[in-house]
């Protein structure tokens, strides 16, 4: 299980200061989402690598459009040298297959993960929009992603294990909404702990606010890694 730090502070300078504090953690994945990328652009990605070349960059833009447009955008993301990107699985099998056909010939391509149901959805909200149960729809979309040759999907910890049963254990599940020590849920609805993620075979966990809102992000990181090792033992 690997840790992704969600960078979502108010300024580029705050994000980079946080990373400078945490550069002693070489195995860290750094998640750059819409806010940071729109504001700070490609130079921000380059700054991350300058702080620690071993940091892995997860560019979380959740691409969603017609198949060729998505494939073109995914190709441009790959050319930025990032290590993982996200698309929406609800774009359909044709779009997902088109993306993988475009990226597979690359000498070095990022992992491609498909978003199933956002962890900010409650069951009620999801039913209102999709008229389906969250878990059933997440499994359905994950199966489509697997059949389309994606590397994995983004889901809540509570769907991870069932998705692996419907695909394979090697099909990556990345789980946002992790509150390592039962912190406030904020705007997330389907949240879990590190132990929940481990029990449900999550490959990547995403943690943001519990780290960067703390007075000592470094100590929180140390405790998170200790908790991960504790789960493994």
Q: Which amino acids are annotated catalytic?
A: 62
Q: Distance (Å, rounded) from C-alpha 123 to C-alpha 145? A: 22
Looking from the CA of 109 toward its CB, the CA atoms found within 13 Å total: 19
Please name the residue ranges forming H helices in the chain: 12-21, 34-51, 67-78, 93-103, 123-130, 134-147, 157-166, 194-199, 209-212, 217-232
Give 70: exposed, middle or buried? Use CB within 10 Å, 0-12, 13-18, 19+: buried
Strands 84-88 and 56-63: parallel
Total Cβ atoms within 10 A of residue 170: 9
Distances (CA, A) of 153 to 90, 111, 182: 12, 10, 24
Residue holding tokens 């088109």?
98
Q: Distance (Å, rounded) from C-alpha 147 to C-alpha 167? A: 9
Answer yes or no: are the C-beta atoms of 62 and 88 closer than 8 Å: yes
């Amino acid at each position: 299980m690997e840790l992704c730090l969600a960078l979502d502070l108010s300024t580029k300078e705050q994000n980079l200061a946080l990373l400078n504090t945490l550069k002693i953690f070489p195995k860290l994945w750094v998640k750059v989402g819409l806010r940071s990328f729109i504001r700070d652009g490609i130079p921000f990605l380059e700054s991350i690598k300058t702080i620690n070349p071993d940091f892995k960059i997860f560019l979380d833009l959740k691409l969603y459009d017609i198949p060729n447009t998505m494939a073109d955008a995914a190709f441009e993301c790959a050319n930025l040298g990032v290590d993982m990107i996200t698309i929406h699985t609800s774009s359909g099998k044709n779009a997902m297959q088109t993306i993988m056909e475009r990226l597979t010939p690359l000498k070095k391509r990022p992992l491609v993960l498909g978003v199933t149901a956002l962890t900010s959805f409650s069951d009620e909200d999801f039913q209102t929009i999709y008229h389906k149960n969250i878990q059933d729809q997440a499994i359905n979309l994950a199966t489509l992603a697997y059949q389309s040759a994606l590397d994995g999907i983004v889901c809540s910890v509570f769907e991870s294990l069932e998705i692996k049963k419907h695909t394979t254990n090697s099909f990556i599940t990345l789980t946002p909404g992790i509150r390592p020590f039962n912190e406030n849920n904020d705007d997330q609805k389907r949240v879990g702990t590190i132990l929940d993620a481990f029990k449900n075979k999550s490959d990547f966990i995403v943690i943001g606010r519990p780290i960067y809102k703390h007075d000592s992000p470094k100590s929180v990181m140390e405790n998170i890694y200790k908790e991960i090792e504790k789960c493994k033992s």
